[in-house]
Amino acid sequence: MSKQKKQTKTSSTKKKPAQKKTSTTKTTAKKTTAKKPTGTKKTTKTTTKKSTTKKSTTAKKPTAKKTTTTKKPATKKKLTTVKKKTTTTKKPTTTKKVVKKVVKKTPEVEGPLEFYLKAGEIAIAVKKLLRSKVKVGASVLEICEAGEAKIKALGGLWAFPLNISINNVAAHYSAQPDDDLVIRKGDIVKVDCGVHIDGYIADTAFTVSFGTGHKDLIKASEEATKAAIDLIRPGITTDRIGAEIEDIIRSYDFRPIRELGGHQLDQNLLHGPIMIPNVKGTKGIKLEENQAYALETFATSGTGRLLRTETKCYIFQLNPIPIPLRLDSAKRARKVILSNYSNFPFTTRWIAKELSTPTAKISLRYLADKAQIKRYPVLSDVKDSLVSQSEHTVFLTGNSRIITTQENQ
């Protein structure tokens, strides 16, 4: 805009002397004829008026053209360049925002269930292997090592040590580094397997009999777990599930184990705050969508009350509050636990692979006495009783549930 004002002023200054020259007499004509070379050379000397009028007209025309030519291209260039810049800058910003929104939504909605399903697939494959390994004369140590190696080979991680509980032993027996226990004829064997993917767990168990008269005992826990699966969904309360489990087990003339039962699962959390009881009379808690649960039932021919054998403890879990330690081997053991098993239970056998077997046993006993690790002692019913176990993991969705660990669904 500032350039256009200067050009109009210059054109107006040229017009004023031209008007004065036309009004002068013949005496002034000599002055004008002297100035003619600045105009066109072909003009004649006839009259001063005609020559002056020609000069004025010729002076006006180029100034008008200059003003018009300067205005038009300047305005066109500015308008076209501004429009192109605004249109090109808006399009990429809108596409980038849409892509970011899609990426944020997918892990929140599909992530947990996808991991639960992957862990369940691995657990199913491991159970298939274990069913072929569990037989009369088989070493419990070899079964545990084979199952745990299969979990790693399939891309999973251990949610807890593989449990092999025989006869009246209900839970928490995992082979020791020097374990010589073997499966014998007449035994009833419970296999409990745990897998996790990114902290999301598949917890599943089954029972195998190598004797006679165990069929109904195994069926009692299996049918109780099936009934719990049929009942569980968002909105149901835990007391209703527990009552159904007890009714089914007692219908086979066996007892449920009161101290054991199902439990809530979450990322890096094997035993959540909500429990699924095996018995009636408990306070009901309403279950919600997008929660995972291990539905775990136990049937026994014994009393239904467990005995804790503190001297037989092979599974532990880290407590999160460390204290200063004096024993060097305990410091090394805690370092191994923090590096590999900070969120889930572990066994003496795993620590012995990093240290020696005697060092592992002494260190874990010391850490347990100092409350640095939690004990999971072997749990048993009375002598000569038999216990069966059945377990599956479910994920609650909408008005239903997905079983993540069941074969041939």
Residues designated catalytic: 192, 203, 263, 271, 296, 391
Pair 396, 293: CB distance under 8 Å: yes
Angle at 150 between CA 145 and CA 151, to 5 degrees: 105
**Amino acid letter, 5:** K
Q: Which residues of 360-388 are buried (b: 16+ CB within 10 A; e: fewer)?
A: bbbbbbbbbebebbebbbbbbbeeebbbb
Q: Which of 228, 304, 301 is nearest to 259 (CA)?
A: 304
How far is it, in rounded angstroms, from Cα 240 to Cα 283?
10
Tokens of 391: 């377990």
CA distances (Å), origin 31, targets 35, 42, 48: 7, 18, 10
How far is it, in rounded angstroms, from Cα 394 to Cα 229?
8
Contacts of 83 (CB under 8 A, 6+ apart): none
Contacts of 106 (CB under 8 A, 6+ apart): none
CA distances (Å), origin 16, targets 13, 62, 304: 6, 16, 122
CA distances (Å), origin 46, targets 29, 51, 102, 297: 11, 8, 88, 129
CA distances (Å), origin 279, targets 97, 227, 318: 53, 13, 30
Tokens of 206: 């089954």
Instruction: Specify the length of the chain in residues.
Output: 409
SS (H, E, C) 56-105: HHHHHHHHHHHHHHHHHHHHHHHHHHHHHHHHHHHHHHHHHHHHHHHHHH
